[in-house]
Amino acid sequence: MKQDRILIGTRSSKLARWQADYVAERLREQYPGLTVEEKLMQTKGDKILDAPLAKIGGKGLFTKELEQAMLDGEIDLAVHSLKDMPTEVPAGLELAVITKRYEPGDAFVSNTYRSLEELPQGAKVGTSSLRRKAQLLHVRPDLQIESLRGNVNTRLQKLDDGQFDAAILAVAGLKRLGLGTRITEVLPESIILPAVGQGALAIETRCDDAEVKAKIAFLNDAATAKCAVAERAFLARVEGGCQVPVGVYATPAGENLHVEAVIASLDGKRLYRDSVTGPQAEAERLGVELADTLLDAGGLAILHELGLLLDRK
């Protein structure tokens, strides 16, 4: 039976709604007769806002309820920020589409200071990410980095209320919400490498839902998908959810991929960074190879200190 209706599951934050609306509009443009609707849902990550992400379970906090609804047949697909996706997808589900990557960087946002460099000694910076915290402390060990949770608007309001001298947020999220003017400085990748998949969207579906997969296939961006394979392979190898300060960023270079990554200690004092270049067809191997390089350089000791035992078979 031909499917004439698709139900998208989405979280209710403004950014999640933007992401679901974007996919819904693209589907309506592609298939004028198709009815596309959205179902708003809450995840554990949306409900618990008074604790750092790393302490309440890390990745999966923003996806589990949506995934269960898919498995139960309540929704046809879910749209996620790729950076929120665990490396292991539940049995019966798959990441069918990775959209073209938007800007992957991190933004320095401040009402008082024009740049990270201009921040005075001991300034208070808000971020909920250990990845950002460790890399910031590596270049500015004097800063006070404090947890800043909530949706984008909530975080900006806390900054505006004077709770922080600056905040670090994803460039893509700010721009997608029309808040690009709030960006004081886009931090270079030499200071902060992005999270896995940052700037790209992932569309998750049931593995056996061939019709829905066929309908959304036009949204897949092959180059971004290859980058995601390398980045997620790196993350899987180091078991790096929100509990481990890791950044990794792959970029196409002709037929090759260039992958750069970092593993850092929580205080930023030890930071191991390296890169690898190789064929796009070997994206997964490149991610694993780079992970092993950084683990051997000192990253494994950091994981052990964080209580994470790595099986490197």
Which amino acid would we find at residue 76?
Answer: D
Tracing tokens 């997608």 back to the chain, one arrives at 176
Comparing CA positions, the residue from 137, 134, 83 lying closest to residue 105 is 83
Task: Provide φ and ψ at 242, rounded to 5°.
Answer: -70, -10
CA distance linking residue 223 with residue 219, whole number of Å: 12
Comparing CA positions, the residue from 250, 240, 127, 247 lying closest to residue 193 is 247
Using only C-alpha atoms, what is the Rg of the chain? Answer: 19
Burial-class residue 208 by CB neighbours within 10 Å (0-12, 13-18, 19+). exposed
Q: Counting every residue, how long is the chain?
A: 313
Say which of 46, 50, 72, 84 is annotated catalytic: 84
Helices (H), 194-270: 210-216, 222-238
CA distance linking residue 260 with residue 64, whole number of Å: 29
The helix (H) or strand (E) run that includes residue 134 is helix 130-139
CA distance linking residue 165 with residue 59, whole number of Å: 28
Cβ distance 96 to 216 under 8 Å? yes
Residue 84 annotated among the catalytic residues of the structure = yes
CA distance linking residue 271 with residue 134, whole number of Å: 8
Give the active site residues.
84
